[in-house]
Structure 1
Amino acid sequence: MPSQLKTNDRLSGRPPGVVILGGAHGTLALARSLGRQKVPVWLVSADTPLPRFSRYAHKTVTWSGPEHGGAVAFLLKLAATEGLGGFLLIPGGDPEVKLVSQSIDQLSAVFDVLSLPWEQLKWVCEKPLLYRRARELEVAFPLTYEFASLDQAVAAEIRFPVVLKPNMGGGSRLAREKAILANDRASFLAAYRSAADEIGVENVVVQEMIPGGGESQFSYAALWNRGAPVAEFTARRTRQYPVDFGYTSTFVEVVDEPRLIDIARRLLGSIAHHGLVEIEFKRDPRDGSMKILDVNPRPWSWFGLAAAAGVDLGAMLWAIKSGRTVQTVSARPDTSWMYLVRDMVAAGTLITRGRLAKRAYLSSFASVRAWATFSASDPLPGLIDMPLTAWRVLTRRILRIR
């Protein structure tokens, strides 16, 4: 853990409130964390409506989205008409991260922006650049194939299975799926052609498939302030939905993985990171190495685990912005987060495949201290999300597979 952070005790520079752009479960958890600090939270979203049902959402605004040509002008006008000047601006999704980072000069004239300029941030957001930086820092990452054209992909010698991913998250089908598995050349070429047509060859990443499931997936989660970690902890993303390539984590538990902290500090220190961040890793059973997969400089789906584990990153962020001292804390062990509806489906699949014992699944509930959507003090998002999620799982996955 980093040493205690010393900050100015003056409160006069504290932002009057927070604007969060986009995001879903991570945004909801962050809004709750800030709301408990009596912070006015504004939500601006073009997609999921879930966070707006929170009692901690002071006001919600619908817009055309971060990829719309007038996005920056919309935010500047919103600030002017609603009196949001000086508010802390936090991107909650990948497209929002890119918009804010690339427009930081314009937005910083009105907002207190929690981001880095794109020239720095792109080295962890764009996967080809991330892996180049990882190579420079001697950080392990999966075997990655680089193609400049469809013809190169057709002619390449590839060791299957491979995974197709977007260069960076966004609104495309590949970004929504997060990963597409190809077990042979025919399925690879079909998926690659489709992805390249949609987002361009330069935005399609092809990687080896590292063996193992959720039990091999780990994360580093932290808050950084001007190039140094304020608070950090590690977790295992034990179960995910779908089970082979998770659209989202469903059961995440605090674990002690010091190797991840060392890797993350080297990587994030190289860009002088500033803000929230989660880094995804997968342990390769073939050599035991922790291979970096992705970096998310925004609230992530299981962000609520932080507060439950005693490392309330949202409250710490606000303390820093308020000029207060942030004390060093350690994440409580045996603390977990669960996305109940999706985890029931994931666990059922794993039990059917013989990869999870029923007793082990039931015992995992004992450590759950945070839920993806439900909170006793803020119940409405959970009550709304459960039937919606069940319907999506049924119609988009189970019935489609059948």
Structure 2
Amino acid sequence: MKNKAVILGCNYYIGLSVIRCLGTQGVHTVAVDYTEEKAYGAESRYTSERLITPHYKNDPEGFIAQLIDYAQKEIVPPVLFPCHDSYLEIVDKYLPELRKYYLISQDIQGIYSRTMNKETLHQLAIENGVAVPEIVRIGEDNLIDKVDRLIKFPCIVKPVDSPSFVSRFRRKLFKVNNHEELEWALKQAKEADLEVFIQRIIPGFDDHMYTFDAYLNQESNVTHWATCQKYRQYPINFGASVYTGQRYVQELYNIGAPFLESLKWKGFAEIEFKRDSETGRFYLIEVNCRMTNLNNLLYKIGLNMPWITYQELTGGELVPPKAITEDTDYVFWYGYEDILAIRDYVRSRQLTIAQIFKSFFKPKAYAIWDWKDPRPAFSHFSIIAKKFARRLFFN
């Protein structure tokens, strides 16, 4: 009997892409969420089974208990795929218990949390000789003087715990342009009881953002990898990828592979870098520990990361090592948020209509749309339409 794949979080396109990557290989996929509402990823034709659990934050013990109860009924252990940072946090917290019943890439408890924590990640990078933007910690002596002298305005106020910050403020960070805005941002974080720090902005437009996407086997060696370049993100300047292309950059492997291997990482990881427009130096910005937004792009260029993971963990035939060392010209496109991003880029005069129009003539790896599996796209469109209708009639 084949091992099932349990996918946590299907109300976003990462979960959807994991379902498709495994379902096309004949894997029995279990789409897990705390409600059927808005879980458009579970509408995929490649979803074999759906499971509704208690909310991972409101009732974490109930959530874990149901996951364990489900796996205990299986003849062979399922493979667990957390597809959101919040799911990853709770998996990390209960990792020893979950590993008794599930196949999970990582076996070191705490490694996910330490890497997702921006402050500990900053220290890990420094210890391994990887460049990171300068920071000032809240509570340091002469804080304002250090910001003026070392960080300078504009700068960003960044959370230590990103999922909690995003859940509260619906943004990844605060960009501040002066002392007054800095004081306001620090006050907001304090009132929310969220730990933050102040970080220098690396100069360069959004197309100076790059990713190193890699799979590390159970010996913590990089076996599969590719590099990508962002073109547009939403929210603009400090958001998630909405239009990103595969681009081969050997230097990103030279920096990223030794760093992940030194952490004894296992499974998939994505390092986000920014290239300094003045010096050309790459700075580590963050590490995505779960499957990436760009998962469908990686699939299109020949790296089926969920399947690579599944085969190794279940003892199947290993997928031969592979690196994408040429430019394929493929781009990842999340059309809905890219429209919003384009609006803001044009309004702020960071891009022209001509520049945007020219960028579209590339082969696409869509975030949601698939001719062979259209139902999730229709479901997502319905969700967006209802949201606009509420704004129109109730605001």
Question: What is the TM-score of this pair, normalised by structure 2?
Answer: 0.87
CA contact (8 A) 1:154 1:189 kept: no
CA contact (8 A) 1:41 1:57 kept: yes
Instruction: Quote the residue 2:124 is aligned against.
Output: 133
The one of 40, 45, 63 aligned to 2:28: 40
The Cα shift of 1:310 comes to 1.6
Instruction: Quote the residue 2:225 is aligned against.
Output: 232
Give matches, 1:226-375, under 5 Å.
226=218, 227-246=220-239, 248-320=240-312, 321-331=314-324, 333-375=328-370
Give matches, 1:70-149, under 5 Å.
70=61, 71-80=63-72, 83=74, 86-148=77-139
Give matches, 1:144-155, under 5 Å.
144-148=135-139
Instruction: Quote the residue 1:6 is aligned against.
Output: none
1:331-383: CA deviation from partner (whole Å, max 9, x where unpaired): 35211110112212222332344433434322333223211110111111112
CA contact (8 A) 2:223 2:322 kept: no
CA contact (8 A) 1:161 1:184 kept: yes
More displaced 10-residue stretch of structure 1: 183-192 or 372-381? 183-192
Return closer, same or farther for 1:290/1:46 CA change in 2, 3 Å cut-off: farther
CA contact (8 A) 1:142 1:207 kept: yes
Instruction: Quote the residue 2:8 is aligned against.
Output: 21
1:84-137: CA deviation from partner (whole Å, max 9, x where unpaired): 750001211112112212221111111112334234334422111111111111
> Unaligned regions of 5+ residues in structure 1, if any?
1-11
Return closer, same or farther for 1:155/1:214 CA change in 2, 3 Å cut-off: closer
How far apart in 2 are the matches of 1:393 and 1:267? 44
More displaced 10-residue stretch of structure 1: 343-352 or 188-197? 343-352
How far apart in 2 are the matches of 1:208 and 1:242? 19
Return closer, same or farther for 1:98/1:336 CA change in 2, 3 Å cut-off: same
CA contact (8 A) 2:96 2:109 kept: no
Return closer, same or farther for 1:369/1:281 CA change in 2, 3 Å cut-off: same
How far apart in 2 are the matches of 1:239 and 1:76? 40
The Cα shift of 1:389 comes to 4.1
The Cα shift of 1:244 comes to 2.6
Return closer, same or farther for 1:65/1:225 CA change in 2, 3 Å cut-off: farther
Instruction: Quote the residue 1:58 is aligned against.
Output: 48
Corresponding residue pairs, total = 380
The Cα shift of 1:177 comes to 0.9
Alignment RMSD, CA only?
A: 2.7
* More contact order relative to length (CA 8 Å, sep ≥ 6): 1
More displaced 10-residue stretch of structure 1: 47-56 or 89-98? 47-56
CA contact (8 A) 2:131 2:284 kept: yes
Mapped pair 1:162 → 2:155: yes
How far apart in 1 are the matches of 2:143 and 2:389? 35
Question: What is the TM-score of this pair, normalised by structure 1?
Answer: 0.86
More displaced 10-residue stretch of structure 1: 155-164 or 385-394? 385-394
The one of 172, 180, 185 aligned to 1:191: 185
Instruction: Quote the residue 1:8 is aligned against.
Output: none
> Unaligned regions of 5+ residues in structure 2, if any?
none
How far apart in 1 are the matches of 2:387 and 2:273? 28
Tell me the secondary structure at the aligned position of residue 124 of structure 2.
helix
